[in-house]
């Protein structure tokens, strides 16, 4: 695939909207994209149907039109979530796919104020959807991608952590701004943008130098966000503390139990769960029950135990 195009999900195109970018199709793997529809033409139900009949999952947009695509798609998410005629199923799919595409680009350009803003807006729409509709939360949990990419991991963690925070935070005193907390979940690994993919995807153990680098991603993430307009103490607490463990053996600061912010404790559970239930090139994913068992039996002093019990219930609910 030529670098001059990037893939977009069909779901990010809204019926009756007028996409301000050209749409390309790839007919055969490894063949170059061909123009399918010029920009500024209405995207209709008929066009969508035709693409579906031909089993098209992705279209391609020229990279030089990416700003047009991202500003269009984040607006479309917001309209779709608020549209009572759209099914919850479709809303969750649109939110998931669009946020993933925005995050994929953000990991390439992590200091882009515009892209961070778009990521925040789409995740705010996702949080609104999930907090107003329990069905949406369940559907989002089912949707989570089982292949491991840092950008889908970011979206998956946000979904699991948001589901958990809705159970846990009402019992903790004080005000909780779900939307800003959700932004923190989404951006928790933004510091990994500075770590070479060969280290992130390395099968087996990291050597000392690689591990030293990997352990810096929370601080790098905080530094990246604070170099943009998007620094925020709530987001910082999640970005910085999501690898701290209740027993004090986490990083970067070895904080213990109550020293770790509750939002970061929530994120830590969702983070490990997603990491072990997704496929990496070097191992198969664990099924949900097995993942929860390992977290309970082998990582017992890593997590907040009360939060873990609530986390397990989330999946009990799912099977009801
Ligand atoms: Fe992380
Ligand atoms: Fe993570």
190-241 pLDDT, tens digit each: 999 999 988 988 888 899 999 999 999 999 999 999 999 998 999 999 999 9
Q: Looking at the CA of 274, which ligand is closest? A: 2
- Alpha-carbon distance 291 to 300, whole Å? 13
Ligand 2 centroid – CA 217 distance (Å): 10
Ligand 2 centroid – CA 252 distance (Å): 14
Ligand 2 centroid – CA 147 distance (Å): 14
Mean pLDDT of 97-120: 96
Q: So what's the architecture of 87-319 in CATH?
A: Orthogonal Bundle (1.10)
Q: Looking at the CA of 214, which ligand is closest? A: 1
What SS3 state is found at 97?
A: helix
* pLDDT tens readout for residues 237-288: 999 999 999 999 999 999 999 999 999 999 999 999 999 998 776 667 888 9
Ligand 2 centroid – CA 152 distance (Å): 10
Ligand 1 centroid – CA 214 distance (Å): 9
pLDDT at 320: 40
- Alpha-carbon distance 247 to 182, whole Å? 25
Q: What percent of the chain has pLDDT over 90?
A: 84
- Alpha-carbon distance 53 to 316, whole Å? 36
Mean pLDDT of 96-113: 96
pLDDT at 68: 97
Q: Which residues contact 281 (CB under 8 A, 6 or more apart)?
A: 201, 203
Averaged pLDDT of the chain: 93
pTM of the model: 0.94
Q: Looking at the CA of 244, which ligand is closest? A: 1
* CB-CB contact of 193 with 107 (8 Å): yes
- Alpha-carbon distance 161 to 155, whole Å? 10
Mean pLDDT of 94-108: 95
Place of tokens 């749409």: 23
CA 277 distance to own-chain centroid: 15
* CB-CB contact of 99 with 119 (8 Å): yes
Ligand 2 centroid – CA 306 distance (Å): 21
Distances in whole angstroms, Cα of residue 50 to Cα of each of 10, 36, 43, 54, 235: 12, 12, 12, 6, 42
CA 12 distance to own-chain centroid: 15
Domain boundaries, the chain: 1-65, 87-319
Ligand 1 centroid – CA 88 distance (Å): 30
Q: Looking at the CA of 155, which ligand is closest? A: 2
Q: Comparing 174 with 123, which gets the higher pLDDT?
A: 123
Residue 84: Cβ within 10 Å count: 4
Place of tokens 């799912």: 318
Ligand 2 centroid – CA 273 distance (Å): 10
pLDDT at 1: 52
User: Where does 22-168 show beta strands of DSSP type E?
Assistant: 23-25, 34-37, 58-62
Q: Looking at the CA of 157, which ligand is closest? A: 2
Ligand 1 centroid – CA 95 distance (Å): 22
Strand order in the sheet with 34-37: 5-9, 58-62, 23-25, 34-37
């Amino acid at each position: 695939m030529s670098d001059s195009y990037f893939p977009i999900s069909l779901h990010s195109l809204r019926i009756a909207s007028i996409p301000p970018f050209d749409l390309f199709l790839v007919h055969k793997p490894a063949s170059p994209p061909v123009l399918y529809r010029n920009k500024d033409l209405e995207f209709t139900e008929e066009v969508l149907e035709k693409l579906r009949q031909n089993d098209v999952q992705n279209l391609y947009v020229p990279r030089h039109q990416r700003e047009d695509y991202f500003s269009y798609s984040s607006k479309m998410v917001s309209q779709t979530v608020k549209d009572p005629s759209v099914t919850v199923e479709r809303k969750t799919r649109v939110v998931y796919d669009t946020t993933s595409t925005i995050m994929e680009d953000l990991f390439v350009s992590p200091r882009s104020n515009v892209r961070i803003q778009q990521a925040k807006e789409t995740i705010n729409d996702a949080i609104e959807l999930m907090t107003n509709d329990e069905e949406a939360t369940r559907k989002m949990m089912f949707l989570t991608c089982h292949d491991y990419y840092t950008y889908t991991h970011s979206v998956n963690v946000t979904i699991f952590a948001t589901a958990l925070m809705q159970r846990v935070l009402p019992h903790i005193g004080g005000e909780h701004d779900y939307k800003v907390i959700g932004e923190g979940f989404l951006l928790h690994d933004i510091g990994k943008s500075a770590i070479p993919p060969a280290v992130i995807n390395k099968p087996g153990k990291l050597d000392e130098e690689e591990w030293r680098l990997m352990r810096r991603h929370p601080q790098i993430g905080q530094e990246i966000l604070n170099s943009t307009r998007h620094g925020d103490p709530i987001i910082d607490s999640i970005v910085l503390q999501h690898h701290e463990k209740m027993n004090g053996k986490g990083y970067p600061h070895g904080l213990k139990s109550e020293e770790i912010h509750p939002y970061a404790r929530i994120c830590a559970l969702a983070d490990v769960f997603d990491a072990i239930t997704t496929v990496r090139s070097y191992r198969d994913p664990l099924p949900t029950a097995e993942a929860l068992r390992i977290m309970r039996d082998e990582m017992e002093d890593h997590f907040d135990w009360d939060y873990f019990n609530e986390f397990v219930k989330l999946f009990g609910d799912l099977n009801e």
